[in-house]
Homo-oligomer: A and B are copies of this chain.
Amino acid sequence: MTASATKAGPVHALVDRLRQGDTRALARAISLVENEAPEARALLSACFPHTGSALRIGVTGSPGAGKSTLVDRLARAFCEAGRAVGIIAVDPTSPFTGGAILGDRIRFQERSGELQERPGDPARSGGGSGFYARSMATRGSLGGLAQTTADAALVLEASGKEIILVETVGVGQDEIDIARLADVTLLVLVPGMGDDVQSLKAGVMEIADIYVINKSDRDGADRVEQEIRALQSLAPAQTTAWSPPIVRTIATTGDGTRSLVEAITSMDQWLRSGDHLAERRTRHWQLRLSTMLRTELMRRARRNGMADDQLHDHAVCVASGHQDPWQLIADLSNRLFEQES
């Protein structure tokens, strides 16, 4: 209680500063969230009342599909339209080496710097809070990448960003989890490259709210579109549901950016008509609350010496066959509930 009261001061000061457009405060706040610092929860609680109106756009697709360039194009277009834009580029870390994909991060920081610091940039003259990009690595924590990304998006939104673009690196489970927490998900496909529509991991096609065929000047764009339409025709028709459009782009030249912005705007309008956005966000929060509860329970387990790295001695007994793991777990959880109540 005392610790929390002491922390409230600095955390609220930080939130005040980031809400006034202080980029360093924003960067610091996202770092606290990313590093799962003790004050992160108080920080997020303080940000929460200032969120709910931004549009969160997830951009996913195979590596090499041109997502970064496309996100740049979208960011510039929204900035030019006077909207304040935040970008989170998610760098999944290897579970073994623990390192972020360094090249990407450096490239991204350059991109962010370029857009932020160029005098006369539309981002600065535009929507007040301007433009902010952040490359994000993550620890192998329980909540995982999707949670940390959603938390960072919340901080960005509290800082006044109206459009949050979340760019992922690949199309694995992490990316699906991240996409599930976006309001609008773009799935970026490219002709050729061996990533035919049918080779995509099960579940990836279903997350798309808008299909983007990037590098659409290449041979095979028609085939990709046909494959998408064939898959769509297999899906059960839902008259009340959003019907995902297909947009062709060439991110390197900017071709198709306007159509893509229009598609996003249409979806935004659809979401905000009726209960679509509320339903979608309720689903998001249901997933998130479940994960948050799990994280909280495991935090308490750790406090009682029962989490992850603390289970080594028990693991030795089980691996040698001297301890039944199911009995062990029953005993440990009983002990936890006795001690924490």
- Known: A296-B333, A326-B41, A337-B340. Is A290-B307 also a contact (CB below 8 A)? yes
Q: Is the CB of B95 within 8 A of A337?
A: no
- Known: A172-B173, A194-B194, A297-B333. Is A289-B325 also a contact (CB below 8 A)? yes
Interface residue range, chain A:
35 or more
Q: Is the CB of A293 within 8 A of B301?
A: yes
Q: Is the CB of B97 within 8 A of A202?
A: yes
Contact of A49 among B170, B306, B321 (CB under 8 A): B321
Residues of chain B lying within 8 A (CB to CB) of residue A294? 142, 294, 297-298
Interface centre among A93, A170, A326 (most CB of B within 10 A): A326
Interface presence of A273 (CB below 8 A): no
- Known: A283-B315, A289-B311, A290-B308. Is A296-B337 also a contact (CB below 8 A)? no
Interface presence of A329 (CB below 8 A): yes
- How far apart are A68's CB and chain B's nearest CB, in angstroms? 17
Q: Is the CB of B96 within 8 A of A48?
A: no
**Complex: A63 Cα to B196 Cα, angstroms:** 12
Residues of chain B lying within 8 A (CB to CB) of residue A301? 293, 297
Q: Is the CB of B330 within 8 A of A296?
A: yes
- How far apart are A121's CB and chain B's nearest CB, in angstroms? 32
Q: Is the CB of A176 within 8 A of B95?
A: yes
Residues of chain B lying within 8 A (CB to CB) of residue A12? none
9 contacts between A and B (CB under 8 A): A97-B206, A278-B319, A283-B315, A284-B315, A286-B314, A289-B328, A290-B311, A292-B326, A292-B329
Q: Is the CB of A324 within 8 A of B48?
A: yes
8 A Cβ contacts from A286-339 to B: 286, 288-290, 292-294, 296-298, 300-301, 306-309, 311-312, 314-316, 318-321, 324-330, 332-333, 336-338
**Complex: A307 Cα to B286 Cα, angstroms:** 9
**Complex: A22 Cα to B321 Cα, angstroms:** 25
**Complex: A321 Cα to B340 Cα, angstroms:** 30
Residues of chain B lying within 8 A (CB to CB) of residue A311? 286, 289-290, 293
- How far apart are A223's CB and chain B's nearest CB, in angstroms? 16
8 A Cβ contacts from A167-216 to B: 170, 172-174, 176, 193-195, 199, 201-203, 206-207
**Complex: A341 Cα to B324 Cα, angstroms:** 23
Interface presence of A160 (CB below 8 A): no
